[in-house]
Structure 1
Amino acid sequence: MKRKLALAAGVCICTAAQAQSSVTLYGLIDNGISYVSNQKTSSGAGHSNVFASSANIVGDRWGVTGAEDLGGGLKAIFKLEGGFSSQTGGLQQGGRLFGRQAWVGLSDTSYGALTIGRQYDSVVDYLAPRSLAQSFVGGLGFSHPMDNDNFSDFFRLDNSVKYASIDYRGLKFGGLYAFSNHAGDFNDNRAFSGGATYNTGPLTLSASFMQIDHPGDGAAGALDGSSTSGDATFHAGRQQVWGVGVNYALGAATVGLVWSASHLTDAAAVNRGNSLAPVSTGSATDLRFNNYEANVRYLITPAWLIAASYTFTDGRYSNASVNAKPRWNQVNVMTAYSLSKSTDVYLMAEYQRVSGASGTIFGGAFIGGSGGPSSTNRQFLTSAGLRVRF
């Protein structure tokens, strides 16, 4: 009898311990077919292309996330998330097993969460959701030129410590610091960012900033710039991003306005096209991007969504031999229909025109996800696909 009671007590203790912890396996696959009007070939000529595409809206991923209740409102938390191509099965983010996210930390119901590892910056966390480039609606194709503000979370930051507050009556805020890991040069390839979002009824306001010193300076530090990574879009002396955004819900519709600015000093190279090898600017170059976006999304039915955005980017490209003012105009539209809570089909299209970029590496239009820049100043991209969450 005592053995039975002891066994029963042991089972109850184990069951209670398991109930206080949770581990979840999850993922997403986004596959489709795309058409691009002009894709620059190795000879320099342009040609249309029909190609199998993945991650048209969001990157393919799988991950494990979990939490352990430590009592008193305190939890140990973690997330491991890897990106892959569902067309080839290969790993993304330079072949990393958990290239999208890899962090561990503590969360408290009264004070917020503190996490350490490979993580998203505050622009991604707070400001980017006001844009269709990072709202699980438009994705990479809707991003601003070269994703210069990281709204489409093209990169993550290594060696980072992040704080995220709890919700204080609609206000959330946080910040991140990513270490350089360079002995004798604390500032080389380090990053820091901060942001906040305030939600009250139908209105949501957001603001954020980020600074990276010497982004892409080698594989160590905050932003991996090695040729096998593809993390660093720009190789420069300094990259700064800041901006504000607003969304307003009107029944089944949500409208948004976003402004962001990116400033790169002493830029040496830019990641363009489908190659991880960055394109040289020729000499130390001052790059500036002012991005303006107006967007709308509308639920025709609970299962049927339509969305559209217009973006205008006012640029500046100046060095010892060039002083240009490139400008990008882009129109984006999409529709998606949910077949279930986890599966939907979609159709999307983007058109971009660039002007004032003669004599710079931005002379050809380049829509994110098009597979490469155009040989002319115009490019059209359309994609149809299926997206499944699990």
Structure 2
Amino acid sequence: MKQQSYFRGASANALRVIAAAAAAMTAPGAHAQSGLTFYGVADDAISYVNNQNGHANLYLRQGNLYASKFGLQGSENLGDDMRAVFVLENGFDLNNGTQASSGSIFNRQAYVGLSSERYGSATLGRQYTPYFQFVGPLSSVAALTGAAGAHPGDLDGMDTTVRASNAALYVSPQWHGLQAAGMYALGGMAGSTGRGQTISVALRYSQGPLALAAGYLRMDNAFASTTSAAFDSSSSGSFGESVVNQGYVTARSMRDVAIAGNYTFGAARVGLMYSNVRYLPGARSLFTDTASFNTYGTFVRWQVTAPVDLAAGFSYTQASKANGISHAARYTQFSLKQGYQLSKRTALYALEAWQHASGQTLGSAGEVVNAAPAVGDSQNLTGSSTPTQIVAMLGIDMKF
């Protein structure tokens, strides 16, 4: 009963915030200079997994083609090529109506700032990192979706799992197809400014059929809790936990580097990507040696007709030998997607993926265990008890 009361209260608060924002943006004299957009996505699918921790499962899974969410996006024209902007965005579970993050109304994004075509944009709040914003659109996730197309357990954070709170972000204007971005998220720890900080920079180039991007991300563990057995929630950054990386979530710091490139041939687009993810140990970590994961990926997407698109992808992830592991983990994944656009806002889709794991990694207590497969970003903590996992989904997605 307490949980139900909490969610009713949180939903009521969210509605009050939305109503207040809408009233402010439509007040007399403000409408001509301002714009307010209410937007969102509802996405759900019938999903089959051949092995979740030892058992097959047929169930409903939301947020597969796109994450289920709603949000408010507003702007005000300040004159002289300058606008004030804000975004408030909440994720939710379509199958039970709960918030994606308990106690956080706008868990996905919440920021305010200034934007100019001439000078770029500067924003403050909870935001996606340049690493994700620039490299993510060129990764397999953009073509295949993260549910079945992200690299194992979304290890390199290409499926909207990496955000930073207390963040200052600057994105430059484009110059002959070139654009840069930088972020610094304050840890907010009194007496230790850098503790729990997040740093990210990225560069991208887009001209004609060619698009290239490179990004760097560093997230430091705040270690605010003496009993924390994970990446402390007081840290400004956070990343997804899965059976692939759960032995390293007590890291002192996590560092990501990724590069990606796409080339468009008429109705087809091909992409290549490489990422390196490192978990650095500290005095309070459950492991002692730096752990490294290298992922190589490729995909092709074909717009067969206006409503029909097909995509296929392959990735190979190789872990380092460290922390008593003699046979480092390996993950091989094949992914497929078929989409049919019923209208501009509604689509039907089918997703299929196969992943095989071999070698060893660390378990949640820091012990050496056999590597378990976890397809894309859909089976993070429900890995297979055998070396192979298969996922198939049939769903519908509607934007509003």
2:56 is matched by which residue type in structure 1? Answer: S
Q: CA RMSD in A?
A: 2.3
Match 1:286 to one of 281, 284, 290:
290
Distance change in 2, residues 1:358/1:129 (3 Å): closer
Which segment is superposed worse, 330-339 or 164-173?
A: 164-173
With structure 2 as the length reference, what TM-score do the two structures score?
A: 0.84
Answer yes or no: is the 8 Å Cα contact 2:162–2:240 preserved in 1.
Answer: no
2:272 is matched by which residue type in structure 1? Answer: L
2:345 is matched by which residue type in structure 1? Answer: S
Secondary structure of the equivalent of 1:221? coil
Match in the other structure for 2:382:
372
Q: Deviations over 1:121-179 (max 9, x none)?
A: 1111101111122x164223211122221111213111100001122121121010010
Match 2:163 to one of 132, 137, 156:
156
Distance change in 2, residues 1:170/1:187 (3 Å): same
Match in the other structure for 2:120:
112
2:235 is matched by which residue type in structure 1? Answer: G
Shift of 1:378: 0.8
Q: Distance in 2 between matches of 1:219 and 1:353?
A: 32
Match 1:26 to one of 33, 39, 63:
39
Match in the other structure for 1:305:
309
Match 1:218 to one of 232, 235, 239:
232
Q: Distance in 1 between matches of 2:213 and 2:103?
A: 33
Secondary structure of the equivalent of 1:124? helix
1:59 is matched by which residue type in structure 2? Answer: A
Shift of 1:15: 7.1
Q: Distance in 2 between matches of 1:363 and 1:387?
A: 33
Distance change in 2, residues 1:174/1:365 (3 Å): same
Shift of 1:226: 12
| Structure label with greater radius of gyration | 1
Match in the other structure for 2:347:
344
Q: Distance in 2 between matches of 1:52 and 1:86?
A: 10
Match in the other structure for 2:269:
254
Number of equivalenced pairs: 355
Q: Distance in 1 between matches of 2:326 and 2:191?
A: 36
Residue 184 of structure 1 pairs with residue 191 of structure 2:
yes
Match 2:173 to one of 156, 166, 173:
166
Q: Distance in 2 between matches of 1:47 and 1:90?
A: 26
Answer yes or no: is the 8 Å Cα contact 1:219–1:225 preserved in 2.
Answer: no
2:342 is matched by which residue type in structure 1? Answer: L
Secondary structure of the equivalent of 1:380? strand
Match in the other structure for 2:359:
356
Secondary structure of the equivalent of 2:67? coil
With structure 1 as the length reference, what TM-score do the two structures score?
A: 0.86
Q: Which runs of 5+ in 2 are unaligned?
A: 1-26, 223-229, 363-367
Distance change in 2, residues 1:358/1:222 (3 Å): closer
Q: Distance in 2 between matches of 1:102 and 1:186?
A: 22
Q: Which runs of 5+ in 1 are unaligned?
A: 1-13, 41-45, 270-280
1:263 is matched by which residue type in structure 2? Answer: R
1:382 is matched by which residue type in structure 2? Answer: A
Q: Distance in 2 between matches of 1:190 and 1:358?
A: 27
Answer yes or no: is the 8 Å Cα contact 1:189–1:217 preserved in 2.
Answer: no
Once the two structures are aligned, what percentage of the paired residues are identical?
A: 31
Match in the other structure for 1:125:
133
Residue 244 of structure 1 pairs with residue 253 of structure 2:
no
Match in the other structure for 1:39:
52
Shift of 1:16: 6.4
